[in-house]
Amino acid sequence: MTMMQRDDGADDMPDLWAGAVDLGALGRSLGFALRRAQAAVAEDFAARFGPEDIRPIQFALLTVLRHNPGLRQTQVSFALGVKRTNFVPLLDELTGRGLAERRQVPGDRRAAALFLTRDGAALLDRLEGLARAHEARFAARIGAADYATLLGLLHRVADRALDEG
Amino acid sequence: MTMMQRDDGADDMPDLWAGAVDLGALGRSLGFALRRAQAAVAEDFAARFGPEDIRPIQFALLTVLRHNPGLRQTQVSFALGVKRTNFVPLLDELTGRGLAERRQVPGDRRAAALFLTRDGAALLDRLEGLARAHEARFAARIGAADYATLLGLLHRVADRALDEG
DNA sequence: TATTGTTATACTCTATAACTATA
DNA sequence: TATAGTTATAGAGTATAACAATA
């Protein structure tokens, strides 16, 4: 129950103490609510995928490659919301670990088509089990119906209408 | 309508192209949905608060100081979900700009009590108008009722039950 | 001994500019 | 001229370890 720090270096960030503080308008801030939810989800993800040494964006990349073998680098980076310039080292790490690979594109010698390797596919098989448990945790926390509602609302927030600024 | 890059350095990360790619299980991933929503909200925040040179966490800090004058550094950092070690330079920047200040605590010479300065309060008055417009944009995007629902669901995701791992 | 604030440091994420080799 | 991928770099965000002053 105590929210004290562990002796030395390692802090923790107790969401529990926050209750004692008046957050004012932050309580009605979408950005702040997203931040808190992100932290909770990221913590659970790290606990499950950490032993496999896989971060969220890496899992997302492997998943996109499985469902879209042969996509160009730029297409994948855009789908993930990662600038193509930052995508390079991200992909490099996975290719370096033998999980993904670049292949030449017949018609265009500039382009690289991306594929999962056999090892990458095998790893992803295992990761998908972790992912299901990860999602299930939050579905259980707020209820399956609200979980589905939440996913839909988040995507509606992200999918800006074309007539908006 | 084109999602081409602007000539040179500046990429953009078109969420629109993502539709052409099969995201597979990512479509049912809470973390990925949070990431997309975060990006949309952060973009709007930056457009509005950028001219004031205020980032989300800085606005959050100013807001907490207004509603809780005299709190200790550690309490504020915990309320914001920022480790106290990372909180130091964050607060330093605001005190350096004359927006917040540390004061001595009578009973404890280790501690620092935090307050908004007059300038900080004046700035926050203006920022709160920007914040209202910022929130209103997303309330309008998905509807006021769904916006309220979304806020509630996000906080339920973050507020872990005590009997959970 | 424990806590408050602090420094130093490292790693990840994100962003811009500019380059190369192709087209 | 424009595009695909790349490099270099800088700014934030976040993490751990360890210290001084004080309790």
pLDDT reported for residue A19: 57
User: Smallest Cα–Cα separation from B101: which of B117, B88, B84?
Assistant: B117
CB proximity B90–strand D (7 Å threshold): yes
Count up the domains in chain B and report the number: 1
Taking residues A25-51, report their average pLDDT: 97
pLDDT reported for residue A103: 98
Long-range contacts of A138-142 (CB under 8 A, 24+ apart): A138/A41, A138/A44, A138/B30, A138/B157, A141/B156, A141/B157, A141/B160, A141/B161, A141/B164, A142/B153, A142/B156, A142/B157
CB within 8 Å of A35: residues ≥ 6 apart: B38, B56, B81
More confident residue, B18 or A102: A102
The confidence band for B161, taking pLDDT boundaries of 50, 70 and 90, is confident
- Examine residue A108 and state whether it is found in any structural domain, yes or no: yes
Task: Report residues 46-85 of A contacting strand C, contact meaning Cβ closer than 7 Å.
Answer: 55-57, 82-83, 85
Give the mean pLDDT of chain A: 89
Nucleotides of D under 7 A from a protein CB: 2-8, 12-19, 21-23
Taking residues A106-119, report their average pLDDT: 97
- Decide if A87 contacts A120 (C-beta within 8 A): no
| Selected residues 78-97 of chain B with any CB under 8 Å from a CB in chain A | 78-79, 81-85
**Pairing relation of β-strands B108-116 and A108-116?**
unpaired
B107 CA to D22 C1' in angstroms comes to 11
- Examine residue A71 and state whether it is found in any structural domain, yes or no: yes
Retrieve residue A29's tokens.
């801030």
pLDDT reported for residue A8: 35
- Asked whether the predicted pLDDT for residue A86 surpasses 90, the reply is yes
- Decide if A136 contacts A147 (C-beta within 8 A): no
CB proximity B7–strand D (7 Å threshold): yes
Taking residues B94-100, report their average pLDDT: 98
More confident residue, A14 or B119: B119
pLDDT reported for residue A5: 33
Crossing angle between the packed helical segments B30-49 and B56-67, to the nearest 10 degrees: 80
- Examine residue A92 and state whether it is found in any structural domain, yes or no: yes
Name the one residue in this structure whose structure tokens are 């129950």: A1
State the best of B153, B155, B164 to mutate against chain A, taking most chain A CBs within 10 Å: B153
CATH number of the domain to which B139 belongs = 1.10.10.10
- Examine residue A106 and state whether it is found in any structural domain, yes or no: yes
Least confident range of A82-96, B6-20, B143-157: B6-20
- Examine residue B4 and state whether it is found in any structural domain, yes or no: no
- Examine residue A165 and state whether it is found in any structural domain, yes or no: no
- Examine residue B73 and state whether it is found in any structural domain, yes or no: yes
Taking residues A17-41, report their average pLDDT: 90
Retrieve residue A99's tokens.
């999980």
pLDDT reported for residue A51: 96
pLDDT reported for residue B9: 37
pLDDT reported for residue B20: 77
- Examine residue B11 and state whether it is found in any structural domain, yes or no: no
